[in-house]
Copies of this chain bind each other. A is one copy, B any other.
Amino acid sequence: MKQLYVIKIGGNVIDDSEKLHQFLESFTALEGDKILVHGGGKTATTLSDELGVEAKLIDGRRITDIETLRIVTMVYAGLINKNIVAQLQQRNCNVIGLTGADGDMIRASKRPVKELDYGFVGDLHETSVNTDMLNKLIHAGLVPVFSAITHDGAGQLLNTNADTIASALAVSLSSLYKTSLIYCFEKKGVLGNAEDELSIIKKMKPNEFEILKKEGIITGGMIPKLHHAFEAIKNGVHEVYIGRADELGNIRHNTFGTRLIQNYDA
């Protein structure tokens, strides 16, 4: 099977033009088929502030009301997506910017209202990704760049978690490619010691994750992140990397961030 990289970047890269430049260079240089998924960063918050639209938070969770949906559609699918596309085109990387609505690539369901109404937020399910159409674009020589907007097939755009989109794309394309899912975040990898930025765990299997969790070495927001990563592996993804965007170039030397795998034999 051919190699495919699905790479997710977030606000810490997008908001910093030097880091973004560095990342786009590494992304362009990465050989093989690839897909980029980007979050939004602070630009949406800045625009909300400029427009006097208050961020709606309930119990600390962000709510996507109709005004916020309008803003993220403009910022994620318009401003950020198209600027990344233009900057990658400049590097002769033939990207195509997409939301889940384009080509019906990712169809989501509006999150059901239970205790909390998240508003126009999309949840993905097993058949959300249009694998065939996505593969046609890749075969045409195009590199898809997804913003974190999907649709419900009934005319409604939906704000959708970028990590979840990256994972769903990688899982779905595992039927056709040997997929590597790469999450870029602010640290060089998963740390074995929170106090030491250099204590990067190089490799991790599911049972090791369980041990590190029990021992209190992996804590907080890293637990669900790794849990979802191992879920992706269980569902067909070959490997998941977690590391810092500016070090992406190291992936060919197998020295990028933390590598999650099913077995060391793999």
Q: Does A82 have its Cβ within 8 Å of any Cβ on chain B? A: yes
A58 CB to nearest B CB, Å: 25
Question: Which residues of chain B are near A136, meaning CB under 8 Å?
Answer: 140
Let me know if B82 and A73 touch, CB within 8 A.
Answer: yes
Interface residues of A in 57-88 (CB under 8 A from B): 70, 73-79, 81-83, 85-87
Let me know if A82 and B153 touch, CB within 8 A.
Answer: no
Q: A76-B78, A79-B74 are in contact. Are A94 and B90 (CB under 8 A)?
A: no
The bracket for how many chain A residues form the interface is 35 or more
The majority secondary structure among interface residues of chain A is: helix
Q: Does A103 have its Cβ within 8 Å of any Cβ on chain B? A: yes
A158 CB to nearest B CB, Å: 9
A91 CB to nearest B CB, Å: 9
Let me know if B104 and A89 touch, CB within 8 A.
Answer: yes
Which residues from chain A sit less than 8 Å from chain B, CB to CB?
47, 50-51, 70, 73-79, 81-83, 85-87, 89-90, 94-99, 101-104, 133, 136-137, 140-142, 149, 151, 153-157
5 nearest CB pairs, A to B: A78-B78, A74-B74, A90-B155, A74-B78, A136-B140
18 contacts between A and B (CB under 8 A): A70-B79, A73-B79, A73-B82, A77-B77, A77-B81, A77-B82, A78-B82, A85-B101, A85-B151, A86-B101, A86-B157, A89-B104, A94-B133, A96-B98, A96-B102, A97-B99, A103-B142, A137-B140
